[in-house]
Amino acid sequence: MSLTDKLFILFGGICALLGIASAIGFALSRKVTSENGRATVDNLNARIRAWWVMVAIFALSFGLGRGVTVVLFALTSFYTLREFISLTPTRGADHLPLVAAFYVLLPLQYWLIWTDWYALFTILVPVYGFLLLPSLAALKGDADAFLLRVSRIQWGLMLTVYCISHAPALLTLDIPGRPREGFLLLFFLITVAQFSDVMQYVFGKLFGRTKVAPVISPSKTVEGLVGGGLSAVAAGAGLWWITPFTPLEAAAMALAIVAMGFLGGLSLSAVKRSMGVKDWGTMISGHGGVLDRMDSLSFAAPVFFHLTRYFYT
Amino acid sequence: MIDLVLIGLTRFLVGGQARWIGASPDMRQRIYFANHASHLDTLLIWSALPRQLRGSTHPIAAADYWGKGKVRRHIALKVLNAVLVDRATQGPPGAALAPLRGVLAEGESLVLFPEGTRGNERLPGPFKSGLYWLSQEFPEVELIPTYLDNPSRAFPKGTFLPVPISCTVRFGAPLLRRAGEEKDAFLDRARAAVGALASDPVS
């Protein structure tokens, strides 16, 4: 089976799943009448509609090739960094580090993926960004809350640019005997991470009783985590045929993605809570901001990238 | 064509979504008066207005910034429908208002930054008197307090390049006129109406 055939089947499968979800959403919208229930169902349907759009964007970028996919993720980093910085109290003296983050480090990080310069890709933000940002901030001569301000920008950059860029970096991996199959690894990562989020939401809504972290994220429950996590692991195992993994290895990889995704969602909920907001933005209707959809992926991408790179290339 | 590019750029860089909190977009003749924090402000309000309102709404822009250079001047006059005002004008009080009166007399709307200069604070500084004189001369024009959130962070004074930080444009309820109100009391009330929009009641 060729790469195109596989991608065709995979996106066909996703469309079928979304079709079922849309049908269920439509049925629910006719059945549910209570005010509380209506709000939930309306939100559910908004989420499903947004999923159609997101899947269409991904299918299109995959179809158009590596360059477009890298640009798509660069834009994702751009918007998530914008959301992060918008909610972070920066001030005038932070302008120069922000200019460097948005206009130099972000494009450079993605250019390094495009040119496949792995050695610099892995250290650009954690080493050179780490050194550059405080230097630029210090030049402004404002020492007030200096460490706090510099850390915030560095943290945002690590999360939204460095971590997220590990997803498209999968396209650069050379797996023996499997040329150009980075797209399939990327598909695997995104599908498992997002499916885990969706199923945790579904299981949480249906059976959720015991809260995992009531202070940080009241919507995360043990039932949701276990039910959603296991579904995503099963889905990952079922996708073994598109990866270099055996079914058991695929399940283990999916488990790593689910675990990191859960920790990412939890950590970013804590950040949001500390800032006093519920969502990162309003860009994706029903979901919140782009970062609300990317939180789990941002934590899962680097780990999945390195596991695959270490064991399979 | 240029207007679409400008709106696209604004959305991409700083968002600039409109929130109509106390007023709704309407063809009625209005003076939108806003806090002033950056050179993005004119662009932000202009791109937050619905298309139908953009043509008949004229931002007041400082000639010493928007009148400089061919491109900027063209954008200010032809795309943003701006009225360029020379901030250094000397003369009797209210003399600088002549071009603004002209716009209002033709039944069109204005966007005004009554602080007259860009500030760095969240809340607006003292207002100049222009808004008061115009509100007296044109009593039927609605006065809409407008708050720009974040442009001072996205494009601080003294920098050359804006950074992507989401800004919102909040339109509040029309400021009512009170019979016999003194100039200073009116200006304080107008300023407070803009400041009241700083803490967003919606999100």
pLDDT tens for each residue of B42-90: 999 999 999 999 989 999 988 888 888 899 999 999 899 999 888 776 6
CA distance A86 to chain B (A): 5
**B15-49: pLDDT as tens digits:** 988 999 989 998 999 999 999 999 899 999 999 99
Task: Select the residue of A86, A90, A277 nearest B166 (Cβ to Cβ).
Answer: A86
DSSP 3-state percent helix, strand, coil across chain A (nearest 5) = 80, 5, 15
Distance, in Å, from the CA atom of A102 to the CA atom of A81, rounded to the nearest integer, reads 8
Strands B142-149 and A211-213: unpaired
- Reading the block at residue A304, the tokens are 């999945």
Closest residue to A90, CB basis, from B120, B153, B161: B153
The long-range contacts involving A213-222, CB below 8 angstroms and separated by at least 24 positions, are A213/A266, A213/A269, A215/A273, A216/A266, A216/A269, A216/A270, A216/A273, A217/A265, A217/A266, A217/A269, A217/A270, A217/A273, A220/A262, A220/A265, A220/A266, A220/A269
Residue A91 is nearest to which of B153, B158, B166, comparing CB atoms?
B153
Tokens of A143: 């020492």
Query: How far apart (Å, rounded) are the C-alpha atoms in residues A42 and A40?
Result: 6
Question: Of B120, B150, B152, which is closest to A86 when you measure between CB atoms?
Answer: B150
Residue A209's pLDDT is what?
Answer: 87
The verdict on a CB contact (< 8 Å) between B163 and A78 is no
CA–CA separation, B44 and A134 (whole Å) = 31
Closest of B85, B88, B36 to residue B62, by C-alpha: B85
List helix spans (H) across B27-156.
41-48, 51-54, 63-66, 70-74, 98-105, 130-137, 151-154
Interval A11-44: pLDDT, tens:
999 999 999 999 999 999 898 888 888 888 888 8
Residue reference for tokens 């006719």:
A30
pLDDT of residue B201: 45
Contacts of A277 in chain B (CB under 8 A): 203
Chain A hits for B17, CB-CB cut-off 8 Å, are 282
Report the complex ipTM. 0.89
Of the pLDDT bands very low, low, confident and very high (cuts 50, 70, 90), residue B203 is very low
Q: For testing the chain A interface, which of B153, B199, B203 should be mutated: the one with the most A CBs within 10 Å?
A: B153
Give the model's pLDDT for residue B91.
Answer: 63
Q: Given this model, what pLDDT does residue B93 score?
A: 64
Instruction: Report residues of chain A scoring pLDDT below 70.
Output: none
Q: Are B138 and B104 in contact (CB under 8 A)?
A: yes
Rounded Cα distance between B72 and B155, Å, is 17
φ, ψ of residue A219 to 5 degrees: the values are: -90, -10
Count of A–B CB contacts within 8 Å? 39
Q: How far apart are CA A286 and CA B203, in angstroms?
A: 15
Cβ distance of B153 and A103 shorter than 8 Å = no
Q: Does B153 touch chain A (CB under 8 A)?
A: yes
Ordered domains of chain B (ranges, CATH): 2-195 (3.40.1130.10)
Asked whether residue B184 carries a pLDDT value surpassing 80, the answer given is yes
What is the nearest CA distance from A160 to chain B, expressed in angstroms? Answer: 14
* A95/B159 Cβ within 8 A: yes
Residue recorded with tokens 């941002």: A298
- Measured between CB atoms, which of A102, A281, A282 is closest to B164? A102
Assess whether pLDDT exceeds 90 at residue B114: yes
Contact B161 A99 (CB under 8 A): yes
Residues of A in contact with B120 (CB under 8 A): 92
Number of other CB atoms surrounding residue B96 within 10 Å = 19
pLDDT at A276: 87
The verdict on a CB contact (< 8 Å) between A90 and B156 is: no
Higher pLDDT: B199 or B171? It is: B171
Contact B163 A85 (CB under 8 A): yes
Position B202 pLDDT exceeds 60: no
Cβ pair A82:B166 closer than 8 A:
yes
Q: 3-state DSSP call for residue A235?
A: helix
Give the span between the Cα atoms of A240 and A261, in whole angstroms.
20
CA B163 to chain A, closest CA, distance in angstroms equals: 6
- Residues in chain B with CB shorter than 8 Å from the CB of A86 are 150, 165-166
* Residue given tokens 């399940």 in the structure block: A251
What pLDDT is attached to residue B1? 83
Beta carbons of A82 and B165 less than 8 Å apart:
yes
Whole-number Å distance between alpha carbons of A280 and A289: 5
